[in-house]
Structure 1
Amino acid sequence: MRELLETFRLEAQDHLDSASTLLISLEREPEQPEKQRLVESLLRRMHTLKGAAHAVNLGEVALICQDLESLLSEVKRGELALEVAIYDRLHREIDLLAARIFQHPGASPPAATQVAPAEPQRAPHGAPPAPPRGAAACAQPAPGELPPAPPAAAPRPQERREIAGSETVRVPTRLLESLLLQAEELVSTKLAAATLQEELNQASRLLTERAWARSRAQELAGYALRGQGPPPSPQRVASLLQDFCDTERESEARLRGLERLAERNQHNLAALIAPLLAEMKQLQLLPFATLSDPFSKLVRDLGRELGKEAELVCRGAELEVDRRILSELKEPLLHLVRNVMDHGIESPLRREESGKPRRGSVAIELRLLDANHARLTVRDDGRGIDPAQVKATALRLELLTPEAAGQLSDADALQLVFESGFSTSPLITSLSGRGVGLAIVRESLERLGGDVTVSSRPGLGCEFTMTLPLSFALIRALLVSVGKRSALLPAGNVELTARLPREEIRQVENRDTVLLTGEVCSLVSLSGVLELGEQTGAGEEPYQQVVLVRAAERRIAFAVDQVLGVQEVLVKPLGSQLARVRNVSGATVLGDGSVVPILNVNDLVRSALHSAGSGARAAAPPGKGRRLSILVAEDSITSRTLLKNILEAAGYQVATAYDGADALTQLRSASFDLVVSDVEMPRLDGFQLTAALRSEARFADLPVILVTGLESRSDRERGIEVGANAYVVKSGFDQTSLIEVIERLT
């Protein structure tokens, strides 16, 4: 039964993948005949899934499929109109199926790509869905059924690649047959290698057999040269010379034969390895659609949650990418889409006021750059990012000095959004505002050997551009020497190499610069950036070897000792013990057996800018010399005590108030660094308290965190309007996240 369940889950994953895609297409489709075709396809999927569920005794799953069949049959017969409420119910039922099928007994399901609400209580067909079920209401499973899912977000089938701990992929039989034939051809190469080894053994034996004769001839020659003993007879010398000549000719013939055999083996092996490796790579390739398709539902769900309307358009979904890269792209793409929906796309009313269509547009596009690189863009037609606001936030967070902010271009300022902790959101919520998501995007892309940039047109939208490899394994890299060491730079990031006279190196603002491709570029010692403690380039040398690299939109020239040429290398990760080493992305083994690091160009450029004293960053903020004081306003004594204990355990000095009016009185008579307030309180609620504080100049910048059970969109918007800095919902309360929010605001 366990094996049957694993097989069923694999089949169900396909059905639910297709059902979600069909449902999104149905919701968008304007033509009635095409709608009928999509409804028919959904019906077939649910019918097949119901039969498979019955086969493995999953009665509850089969019952949900049957309800969906009945609902879709009414739609097909024209007895039920496809309205928003019906679409919502269909999405909920499919989410419920995923929760029932893809959970693991005794363990919480993994995080989902979509933002799923608490699992809805199933209602009889034709009745409206019941409110979300609480944890205490979960029933025990009946025999033969999967246990009920916890009320957390259910995993979507599109995102579940592991079934019972093993990972599976579909492979075309044509590809398997081709790989088998090529593997069989390797047997011939193996036999040829055995022949070569036997020939080498024979040559070695021949030379060993002549060892005694060589020693004897060397001994006689020594006697003759020293004049000791009678000289050897001419016949003896002639005999030895003849033997040596015969042995040398035989050895020469054998070596030439071995050389030809080795060349032939090398040629045959190369002819086999290249296509074999190429087709093995094909096994790892999946269409980009396997990653992008679920995001249509994500955009829909986020729109429903945020009170917005948006539609996702995906281009390049047919392009194939290494599944390991798709797996790494999942998290950054999720953060980008969430960021776009939360910060970029406006509400329908705001869009109409701006002369835009009510429904926003989010586009994901994948394009090929070359044989192994692609460009992935995420763009929207929302409000865009204001560079002035970015600079103001950077100044507040001490990421920029006022002088550097004045010199920073708008395009460069926008790249600051990828810094950890950076957020222009006026409110921190469970969805966004902590300044973590875009930092994760940059780190993920750099881990892949790519980069990410952002451009924006305020009021018209923004575009995130990511460059990434299509597959791992072999890459072309430039081998350079730095002091007594060697290092590799990915060739995709190298613009040019040059050998410049030292007199062409100029000093500009106490920094070395060189003129390359008509542009002045900073020149930085690669040895200095890597902190090798070795002088790069001897001062007496008249020329300096330079490598110009590009990372995103930045270009830096690095001084090296030698440029040794371009090589094709196999990238090896550093392993879990060295998961993240600054300036290094991996390593490889060269043909001579030496292990050489592959450098992380994005890290190198950042390190170079820092070492060159670019002024883009201010010194780290000084440590706080005193304990921060926090006022907690909460009418419930239990919640008040809990918050007080959490904050004091974290090292804060805490005072409490029993409602908003009491809090306002204490704030006017004492000094506090931050306020944590409930919303629903007698006399003066949290919204009113925040508004009252913002109306007084001395409290204008005092951070206010609202901790509340009110989680509707209108309540969050009201929190923004009154000037709260963070909005933490009690249903998802986590003391660690509260401390993180406080640290972020102080």
Structure 2
Amino acid sequence: MNNVDLIRKLQAAFKTEAKERLRELSSDLIKLEKNPGGDGCDEVIESMFRQVHSLKGASRSAGLREIEKIIKALENVFSALKRKQIKIMPEMMDVLHHATDTLADFADTLGNNQPSDHKNQVCEIVEQINALSSGESPGKTKFVKKKPEPVKEAIAIIKEEESHKKEIPPPKEFAEDTLTKSDRSKDKTQTVRVSLKKLDLLMLQAEEMLQVKLLANQHKNELEHIIEMLELLQKEWGRVADTTRILTQIIKKKGESGNRERSALNSVSKLMALVASNQDQSRIFESRLISLVRSAHRDKRVISELVERLLKDMKDVLMLPFSTFLEIIPKIVRDLSRDQGKNVKVSMEGGEIEIDRKILEEMKDPLIHVLRNCVDHGIEKQALRKKNQKPPMGTIKVMVSQVNGDRIEISISDDGAGIDLEKVKEAAIEKNVVSRQEASGLSDKEVFDLIFQSEVTTSSIVTDISGRGLGMAIVREKIERLGGKVSIESRLGQGTIIRALLPITLATFRGVLVEAGNQQFVVPTASVNQVVRINPDDVKTVENRKTIPLNGHRIPLVRLDDVLEIPPKEQTFASKIPALVLGTREKRIAFSLDNVLDEEEILFKSLGNQLSRVRNIYGATVLGNRKVVSILNVTDLIKSAMHVRPMVARGAVGKKAAQISVLVAEDSITSRMLLKTILESAGYRVKTVIDGLEALTELKQTKYNLLVSDVDMPRMNGFVLTEKIRKDKTLGDLPVILVTALHSREDRERGIDVGANAYIVKSSFDQSNLLEVVQKYI
């Protein structure tokens, strides 16, 4: 290995080590700043001294001379503090925090900009630190420092949180996306660094094993169903045997011995023998089938245990303690409060609770935004707090608690000014979110919900921290996309609490399988408030909306197929109508449907980047019978229910649609299944192919009324396919609809130029606009 390669590897190792040690150094500085000279102060200073001493040797080995200068200066300061040669001053803490942040920036940019590119900045920082070592005030020297951006700094720190907890020898390759898992025992831990991409791939493969578990259960159920059918068959054979015995007795009672009677008796005897033989064979078959069912039960139990254990172990590998986020909160709050001229302390609980790494990553921005609001809008300045007879130092509490086996609650509270509900109403009225008349009738809970509306803010000043009215809308959107819920409680003058209820993991969950409009859907069990059966006589119309009684109140009733804009199933008489009650206590809606089929464990499948936002659809899953069904987005359903338009009954359009055949060309299996499901639900006959070449071959062999095609496909893309169709004498008039992720103006124009009748972009795609376009061209 040459020197250049060696230095590169040493610097990569230093980068990993520095981020962990600097994170701990920053945390120790916060502790020291809170309690200078108090109990435990000497231990904190000793810890900081050891961190920088180790970093000094590491930076020297990696040839990072400029970084070494700053670290050596810091070592001198901590050495002087250990020997009581200097005292802790507020100005000192600012310098030390700035030096630590600068080192973190230098380490983060290793491989791009070298610290040697910032020699002037290094010299100024070293000069400031040396002044501290000699007991002098750092003075008014200006740092070469950008305006603090706590959120960006925090995110940069958290991106590397997965690589922590223990030093290890430099690996063969250093990747940014690595995760360290350790046994967190008091004994010496052993760790290994594994690429997160590899771990995610293993997790994906482990999740796919859930399909094996579902199939085993499906096979067991099918065998049990066969036994039930066999039992019915045996009963029928028993009735035949009884009939033949009676017939034999009748013939014998006649006492006649003619040829006809003998022939009849002979035939009946043969029939009895055949029945007896079949009964014997059925019993043998039943015995063997019962043995298979028992074996299927054992296999299902063993497979379930193995799959559940594998999934649990893989989830544990990818779970992170919430402390990986909580560790940076004191630094965020410190920087924000100093910028605002406020005095704020933070208390935190529940850091040991673990959560899916992906959820933790998605929650970083929302939680940081809530913390910003607590400091900016919540905590008052010291003079105002003193006037209101409050402690001069404001308090922010962050608590993480496990609600049940699969959900956690994150609570962020402050003892600040609270939320003025009248100001919220006025802000919402000003932005035309509600009318003044509507605002006057809102409950406190409904007013708090207005805060999550875009552009609703009570702040009269827009700063780089807050005041635009967008943050809380984004907070709720992110939390709800994770399958969670968020709520606000506040008392004017006393403070505010924001609670987020989240799933611990995204991979699997319990889901209710329902049927509506000849289709099956899954509704997350956690979102189901209640399952009810409605008496048709209880359905009453209130203010032009159907309602049903529930627990002493009347709640709206809508048809699920109407909300999803799919044709309804042909009506059959039923004494009771099944329905799911969704939503919170304040906003509950009953969705009537055709049937509630089952509740089972569901493996979540994303629709992919191309279909990342399909209205009312959260994702997809594969059932034990290998059928792909959609997972419904409950938040969207409740919103859509407020503007529902009943679909035309299948009887009115189904007969016409059933005569129409549509060819779908799409290489993505998820998109292909979604398009097929939507078109078939409208009554069309649908055939699918995987690319343009196969589509062209199919069109020449079979007559179709319409083609729905993707653009970006292997072998032959949608543009070329459309061109060839328009040039073909027999296919030239075929309507072509392109449904694609390509959204640029040039792509749309090209689609029309080659002869497409319609061009639908997948990012704005939903089932209603597709069906509208299809109906237009057929």
Normalising by structure 2, we get a TM-score of 0.63
Match of 1:20? 26
Q: 1:551 to 1:105 in 2, by over 3 A?
A: farther
Find the partner of 1:5 among 11, 23, 26. 11
Equivalent position amino acid for 2:157 in 1: P
Equivalent position amino acid for 2:554 in 1: V
Match of 1:334? 368
1:283 positional shift? 0.4
Q: 1:248 to 1:524 in 2, by over 3 A?
A: closer
Match of 1:652? none
Q: Distance in 1 between matches of 2:145 and 2:511?
A: 56
Q: 1:421 to 1:431 in 2, by over 3 A?
A: same
1:30 positional shift? 6.1
Q: Is the 8 A contact 2:350 2:400 kept in 1?
A: yes
Higher deviation after alignment, 285-294 or 578-587: 578-587
Q: Distance in 2 between matches of 1:594 and 1:332?
A: 36
Q: Does 1:504 align with 2:507?
A: no
Q: Is the 8 A contact 2:562 2:645 kept in 1?
A: no
Structure 2: unaligned runs, 5 residues or longer: 1-5, 116-120, 132-137, 147-151, 163-173, 184-188, 193-198, 220-273, 647-778
1:168 positional shift? 2.3
Q: 1:260 to 1:455 in 2, by over 3 A?
A: closer
Match of 1:619? none
Q: 1:413 to 1:451 in 2, by over 3 A?
A: same
Q: Is the 8 A contact 1:453 1:552 kept in 2?
A: no
- SS of 1:126's partner is helix
Q: Distance in 1 between matches of 2:606 and 2:399?
A: 29
- SS of 1:378's partner is strand
Q: Distance in 2 between matches of 1:522 and 1:248?
A: 53
Match of 1:388? 422
Match of 2:525? 491
Q: Is the 8 A contact 2:73 2:126 kept in 1?
A: no
- SS of 2:358's partner is helix
1:268 positional shift? 2.6
Q: Does 1:48 align with 2:54?
A: yes
Q: Does 1:73 align with 2:84?
A: no
- SS of 1:357's partner is coil
1:11 positional shift? 1.9
Q: Distance in 2 between matches of 1:404 and 1:123?
A: 61
Q: Distance in 2 between matches of 1:471 and 1:256?
A: 38
Q: Does 1:132 align with 2:143?
A: yes
**Residues 217-236 of structure 1 mapped to structure 2, 5 A cutoff:** none
Equivalent position amino acid for 1:476 in 2: R
Q: Does 1:542 align with 2:575?
A: yes
Match of 1:608? 641
1:13 positional shift? 2.2
**Residues 447-486 of structure 1 mapped to structure 2, 5 A cutoff:** 447-486=481-520
Equivalent position amino acid for 2:177 in 1: S
- SS of 1:168's partner is strand
Find the partner of 2:177 among 161, 166, 172. 166
Q: Is the 8 A contact 2:70 2:122 kept in 1?
A: no
After superposition, the C-alpha distances for 1:300-347 in whole angstroms (9 at most, x for unaligned) are 000111111111111111111111111011010011111111111111
Equivalent position amino acid for 2:438 in 1: A
Find the partner of 1:580 among 578, 596, 613. 613
Equivalent position amino acid for 1:48 in 2: S
Q: 1:126 to 1:421 in 2, by over 3 A?
A: same
1:252 positional shift? 8.1
Match of 1:229? none
1:259 positional shift? 5.3
**Residues 614-633 of structure 1 mapped to structure 2, 5 A cutoff:** none
- SS of 2:418's partner is coil
Q: 1:442 to 1:121 in 2, by over 3 A?
A: farther
Match of 2:743? none
**Residues 407-486 of structure 1 mapped to structure 2, 5 A cutoff:** 407-486=441-520
Q: Does 1:271 align with 2:305?
A: yes
Equivalent position amino acid for 1:454 in 2: I
Match of 1:662? none
Q: 1:573 to 1:119 in 2, by over 3 A?
A: farther
Match of 1:123? 126
Equivalent position amino acid for 2:47 in 1: S
Q: Distance in 2 between matches of 1:478 and 1:284?
A: 27
1:263 positional shift? 4.3
1:581 positional shift? 2.0
- SS of 2:40's partner is helix
Q: Is the 8 A contact 2:412 2:498 kept in 1?
A: yes
Match of 1:531? 565
Find the partner of 1:29 among 28, 35, 43. 35
Identity of aligned residues (%): 36
Equivalent position amino acid for 1:354 in 2: N
Q: 1:565 to 1:155 in 2, by over 3 A?
A: closer
Q: Is the 8 A contact 2:558 2:591 kept in 1?
A: yes
Normalising by structure 1, we get a TM-score of 0.66
1:96 positional shift? 0.9
Q: Is the 8 A contact 1:95 1:154 kept in 2?
A: no
Q: 1:542 to 1:369 in 2, by over 3 A?
A: same
Equivalent position amino acid for 2:399 in 1: E
**Residues 555-704 of structure 1 mapped to structure 2, 5 A cutoff:** 555-611=588-644
After superposition, the CA RMSD in angstroms is 3.8
After superposition, the C-alpha distances for 1:419-469 in whole angstroms (9 at most, x for unaligned) are 122222112222212112111101110111001111211111111111101
1:380 positional shift? 0.7
Match of 2:716? none
Q: Distance in 2 between matches of 1:462 and 1:339?
A: 10
Higher deviation after alignment, 550-559 or 355-364: 550-559
1:402 positional shift? 2.1
Q: Distance in 2 between matches of 1:296 and 1:119?
A: 26
Q: 1:546 to 1:153 in 2, by over 3 A?
A: closer
1:60 positional shift? 2.0
Q: Distance in 1 between matches of 2:602 and 2:145?
A: 55
Equivalent position amino acid for 1:569 in 2: I
Q: 1:382 to 1:539 in 2, by over 3 A?
A: farther
Find the partner of 2:343 among 294, 301, 309. 309
1:271 positional shift? 2.5
Q: Distance in 1 between matches of 2:342 and 2:467?
A: 18
After superposition, the C-alpha distances for 1:595-615 in whole angstroms (9 at most, x for unaligned) are 1111121222222234499xx
Higher deviation after alignment, 329-338 or 162-171: 162-171
Equivalent position amino acid for 2:72 in 1: Q
Q: 1:515 to 1:259 in 2, by over 3 A?
A: closer
Match of 1:554? 587
Q: Distance in 2 between matches of 1:38 and 1:60?
A: 26
Match of 2:665? none
Q: Distance in 1 between matches of 2:123 and 2:567?
A: 62
1:107 positional shift? 8.1
Higher deviation after alignment, 495-504 or 125-134: 125-134
Q: Is the 8 A contact 1:299 1:341 kept in 2?
A: yes
Q: Distance in 2 between matches of 1:505 and 1:494?
A: 21
Equivalent position amino acid for 1:66 in 2: K
1:360 positional shift? 0.8
Equivalent position amino acid for 2:143 in 1: P
Q: Distance in 2 between matches of 1:241 and 1:511?
A: 61
- SS of 1:463's partner is strand
Match of 1:513? 547
Q: Distance in 1 between matches of 2:519 and 2:345?
A: 53
Match of 1:157? 157
Equivalent position amino acid for 1:56 in 2: A
Equivalent position amino acid for 1:27 in 2: E
Find the partner of 1:404 among 438, 451, 463. 438
- SS of 2:334's partner is helix
After superposition, the C-alpha distances for 1:500-536 in whole angstroms (9 at most, x for unaligned) are 211111222221111212332221222222222436x
- SS of 1:300's partner is helix
**Residues 94-113 of structure 1 mapped to structure 2, 5 A cutoff:** 94-103=100-109, 105-106=111-112
After superposition, the C-alpha distances for 1:68-95 in whole angstroms (9 at most, x for unaligned) are 1111111222222112111111111110
Q: Is the 8 A contact 1:92 1:120 kept in 2?
A: no
